[in-house]
Structure 1
Amino acid sequence: MNRIDRLTAILIQLQSRPLVKAQDIATKFSISLRTVYRDVKALEEAGVPVIGEAGTGYRLMEGYKLPPVMFNMDEATALLTASKLVQSKTDAGISKHYTAALDKIRAILRHSEKDHIEEIDAHIAVMTHPSIVYQPITELHLQSILKAIGSSSVIEINYTSLEKNETTHRKIEPVGIYCLGSHWYLIAFCQMRKDYRNFRTDKIKQLMITTEINSKKHPPLQSFISKMSADKEVTKVVIDVKPEIVKFLGEQKYYNGFVKEERAGNYVRMTFLSGSLMGFSRWFMLFGDHAKIVEPLELNDMVSAIAENILKKVEEAQVVV
């Protein structure tokens, strides 16, 4: 990247964030801190009101605005692709706001980029796997949750639990949201349980942002996600599957901890990190007559026990008939 492009990129970064650290600029553009200082000085000499806060970082003077930034064709294509994912993976509220934002971006594109966007729009799609039942949810409360997080506000919800199918009224302090599989989840501090809890957002029936402020500063979302991964005990599973069967496993293999696959003689060797051998053994039964277990050996025992139990029940049913 030449210096002119880098100065422009630094200026865009300053405009898009309330505060930018010199080290963050150096890391992003793979330059030294000394070069960062020279670049910032160059921007100041060009009339850009950059304010340096000792030990903190840089920011632009309040009220300073840049003219609309022009997007190149690759950036415009990336935005269009992202819009397809937003429409598919979020609710009507987020999708509506994203579409409105994208329309504003389209308005400042050059004619060539606008024509390109129109041309490829019908050639990008996001589909769900036919083996997975997916019902689009019109309200996932994502916009309201993010608004509450931004203002550190407590929210009140009516939540229906998955385990007991009971609806309870709760006051929670939202930490963050994440998407896993076909669902969005909210991690929040529950005032009723006095602990952090995980809520599936499509199970929230009502949500209201209150005027109450969070009782304390909560750890970042990533720390909870990292802890969830660390706390989950997994077992390495290796199976050999006939090649003609692999395609029918679809996305279900990912829900069972799929890691990799490779050719092994007349089979495809598949490796998984499973959080539940019992759950994996029952999934394996769906295609077990076209596969074999390599490891662990205890998985063979589980599958055998399930098969024997099924056979026993079939024999009992035949006797009754």
Structure 2
Amino acid sequence: MRRADRLFQIVQYLRGGRLVTAAQLAEKLEVSERTIYRDIADLVGSGVPVEGEAGVGYVMRAGYDLPPLMFTQDEIVALVAGARLLRAWGGIAMAAAAEEALVKINAVLPDDARSRADKVQIHALSVAPPSDEVRERLDRIEAAIEARVLLETRYTKEDGAESTRCLRPLGLFFWGRVWTLVAWCELRQDFRNFRVDRFTDMSEGERFREERSKSLLAFYEMQRRCGIPQPRTI
């Protein structure tokens, strides 16, 4: 991570008026506590209102770095509802990030908008939420998509047959109760749609070079040409 990006992330973690220790920041950003101490000193020196000390923790005074645009009422409803959906159905890291996003959103909203956010009555509940294993798998797949990393998988088809696949993960899609992965299957040399809960094993492989013909954009274009709503699900 570039230093400028790390400084930005520190500011984001400190927003919301919560006490955050150097150890917590170091763990989140995967650097040493000594690096965090230097970064905090640089932020303070540049005028960022960070208060605290080593061994105790840091907090940023409310009101710093307000966004130039405020959310509309409808946008607030959408953000809160979306975050609640991810908390209920997303990966473990996704759910934690959704919770963090709600805290940050509330930190910058004026009183009337914050009151509207608190009154959003859209909830995501389920009698059969994804298992922790599936949630963790979602996070790993999302990370592999971002990093362009191959996934070596074992997969159980709808008819019970098992297969081993090497996949280029391209996109995750949520269908109400089921998550699917759109991927380029190296075995079939074609796009395929895989149910995330049917993977029986998965490991990260080598990075792959992005190819236009094997991208998510190419998949969308193929869908449009063929007039089909989704790729073949196995």
Q: TM-score when scaled to structure 2? A: 0.56
Q: Which residue of 2 aligns with 1:157?
A: 153
**1:185 aligns to 2:180 (yes or no):** yes
- How far, CA to CA, are the matches of 2:151 and 2:173 in structure 1? 18
Q: How does 1:124-163 map to 2 (within 5 A)?
A: 124-126=122-124, 134-138=128-132, 139-140=134-135, 141-163=137-159
- How far, CA to CA, are the matches of 1:187 and 1:98 in structure 2? 23
Q: Which residue of 1 aligns with 2:92?
A: 92
Against the structure 1 CA distance between its residues 228 and 148, is the aligned structure 2 distance closer, same or farther, given a 3 Å change threshold? farther
The structural deviation recorded for 1:227 is 5.7
Q: Which residue of 2 aligns with 1:113?
A: 113
Q: Which residue of 2 aligns with 1:29?
A: none
For CA contacts below 8 A with separation 6 or more, give which structure has more relative contact order. Answer: 2
Q: Which residue of 1 aligns with 2:70?
A: 71
Against the structure 1 CA distance between its residues 157 and 225, is the aligned structure 2 distance closer, same or farther, given a 3 Å change threshold? same
Q: Which residue of 2 aligns with 1:209?
A: 204
- How far, CA to CA, are the matches of 1:229 and 1:202 in structure 2? 27
- How far, CA to CA, are the matches of 2:203 and 2:186 in structure 1? 15
- How far, CA to CA, are the matches of 1:215 and 1:116 in structure 2? 43
Higher CA-based Rg: 1
Identity of aligned residues (%): 23
**1:81 aligns to 2:74 (yes or no):** no
Against the structure 1 CA distance between its residues 68 and 90, is the aligned structure 2 distance closer, same or farther, given a 3 Å change threshold? same
- Cα deviations across residues 95-120 of structure 1 (Å, max 9, x unaligned)? 222221222222222233223322x1
Report the 3-state secondary structure (helix = DSSP H, G, I; strand = E; otherwise coil) of the residue aligned with 1:158. Answer: strand
Q: TM-score when scaled to structure 1? A: 0.42
- How far, CA to CA, are the matches of 1:179 and 1:152 in structure 2? 21
The structural deviation recorded for 1:172 is 0.9
- Cα deviations across residues 109-138 of structure 1 (Å, max 9, x unaligned)? 2233223322x14x322356xxxx855333
Against the structure 1 CA distance between its residues 214 and 204, is the aligned structure 2 distance closer, same or farther, given a 3 Å change threshold? farther
- How far, CA to CA, are the matches of 1:224 and 1:178 in structure 2? 17
Q: Which residue of 2 aligns with 1:195?
A: 190
- How far, CA to CA, are the matches of 1:181 and 1:229 in structure 2? 23
1:154–1:214 Cα contact (<8 Å) kept: no
1:91–1:137 Cα contact (<8 Å) kept: no
- How far, CA to CA, are the matches of 1:188 and 1:86 in structure 2? 22
Q: Which residue of 1 aligns with 2:220?
A: 222
2:165–2:186 Cα contact (<8 Å) kept: yes
Against the structure 1 CA distance between its residues 226 and 96, is the aligned structure 2 distance closer, same or farther, given a 3 Å change threshold? farther
Report the 3-state secondary structure (helix = DSSP H, G, I; strand = E; otherwise coil) of the residue aligned with 1:125. Answer: coil
Against the structure 1 CA distance between its residues 224 and 143, is the aligned structure 2 distance closer, same or farther, given a 3 Å change threshold? farther
- How far, CA to CA, are the matches of 2:185 and 2:152 in structure 1? 10
1:153–1:214 Cα contact (<8 Å) kept: no
2:151–2:166 Cα contact (<8 Å) kept: yes
